[in-house]
Amino acid sequence: MTNARRVLLTGANRGLGHQLARLLIDRGDRVWGTAREAAPEALLALGPAGIIQFDLADEASIVAGIAQLGEQVAGVDLVINCAGADGRSFGMADQQRGPFDFDAASFDAVNRVNVTGPMVVVREVLPLLRRGVDPLVLNISSQLGSMEVAASIGRDTGYCVSKAALNMLSVKSAAALAGEGIAVVMLHPGWVSTDMGGDTAPLTPLESATAIVETIDGLSLADSGRFVRWDGTTHPW
Ligand SMILES: NC(=O)c1ccc[n+]([C@@H]2O[C@H](COP(=O)([O-])OP(=O)(O)OC[C@H]3O[C@@H](n4cnc5c(N)ncnc54)[C@H](OP(=O)(O)O)[C@@H]3O)[C@@H](O)[C@H]2O)c1
């Protein structure tokens, strides 16, 4: 158990993000969870340090939400970009997975949420991270962002492209921030039985989140730029 952290966690009202919020709060961390709705019931029930309301597709809402965070806390030690979406959130059918099944608006929408949104989040929270203790950004990626893995399996191509782009954003962020002592790590959480992962996934959200919290505790600046699995082992690019 490390010292209590000040945490910004996106997508904290359901799925993997909700279990991460539960575990971090239970162990004494102060968690500001984000949600799109103003009064996210499941998150509020966990007793977070605060609720930050924004939509990752809306830059102004992220800027405003993180400005509110800055009024509540002097620094942030850990940012977890967990919120994410795939083509199904934008009207794509489950079987529409090929590179040419997308209309441009849905393709852009997935990438807006999974890549542009996290970029804006980290950009806005940087002044707080700079005042953090052992600051770490954990970007929840996916094995489907791996060139080696996604060639043979996977969900829709827009989603795979977005996670590959998130990995590149993370590598560039790690390089840019290393000199300031801010670590940036990408993590594949496993195939998890959430709304996104479906009922047949082998890992429960609690199992994945438990392993991720343990992994976070073992990460340091030396790990910046790595792509890891939920259990901390190295994921192939
Ligand atoms: N489940 C898996 O097997 C799996 C595997 C690999 C990677 N991942 C990644 O793990 C992360 C968590 O996924 P999950 O399985 O927990 O998915 P989930 O159950 O579908 O939850 C998605 C979360 O993202 C939030 N979100 C979606 N669109 C948003 C937007 N426009 N603005 C702000 N928040 C938004 C949702 O908030 P609302 O409640 O407001 O909708 C929700 O909290 C994602 O990044 C996903 O890509 C999941």
Residue 65: half-sphere exposure toward Cβ, Cα within 13 Å: 27
**What per-residue confidence (pLDDT) applies to 116?**
98
Ligand 1: centre distance to CA 16 (Å):
7
Ligand 1: centre distance to CA 135 (Å):
23
- CA–CA distance from 93 to each of 5, 32, 171, 196 (Å)? 40, 33, 32, 13
Residue 126 lies in a domain: yes
Query: pTM here?
Result: 0.98
Q: Domain range for residue 69?
A: 6-229
Ligand 1: centre distance to CA 13 (Å):
10
Rounded to an integer, what distance in angstroms lies between the CA atom of residue 200 and that of residue 211?
Answer: 19
Mean pLDDT per block of 10 residues along the chain (237 residues) reads: 86 98 98 97 98 98 98 98 97 92 95 98 98 98 95 89 98 98 98 97 98 98 98 98
**What per-residue confidence (pLDDT) applies to 2?**
54
Residue nearest to atom 43 of ligand 1 (CA): 11
Rounded to an integer, what distance in angstroms lies between the CA atom of residue 188 and that of residue 122?
Answer: 19
Ligand 1: centre distance to CA 83 (Å):
4
Q: Which atom of ligand 1 is nearest to the CA of 195?
A: 19
**What per-residue confidence (pLDDT) applies to 68?**
98
Residue 34 lies in a domain: yes
Cα angle: 89, vertex 85, 43; to 5 degrees: 105
Residue 236 lies in a domain: no
CATH for 158: 3.40.50.720
Ligand 1: centre distance to CA 17 (Å):
7
Residue 16 lies in a domain: yes
Residue 135 lies in a domain: yes
Residue 235 lies in a domain: no
Is the CB–ligand 1 distance for residue 132 below 6 Å? Answer: no
**What per-residue confidence (pLDDT) applies to 151?**
86
Residue 163 lies in a domain: yes
Domain count, the chain: 1
Is the CB–ligand 1 distance for residue 194 below 6 Å? Answer: yes
- From 194, 204, 206, 235, the mutation candidate for ligand 1 (largest count of ligand atoms within 8 A of CB) is 194
Residue 143 lies in a domain: yes
Is the CB–ligand 1 distance for residue 189 below 6 Å? Answer: yes
**What per-residue confidence (pLDDT) applies to 128?**
98
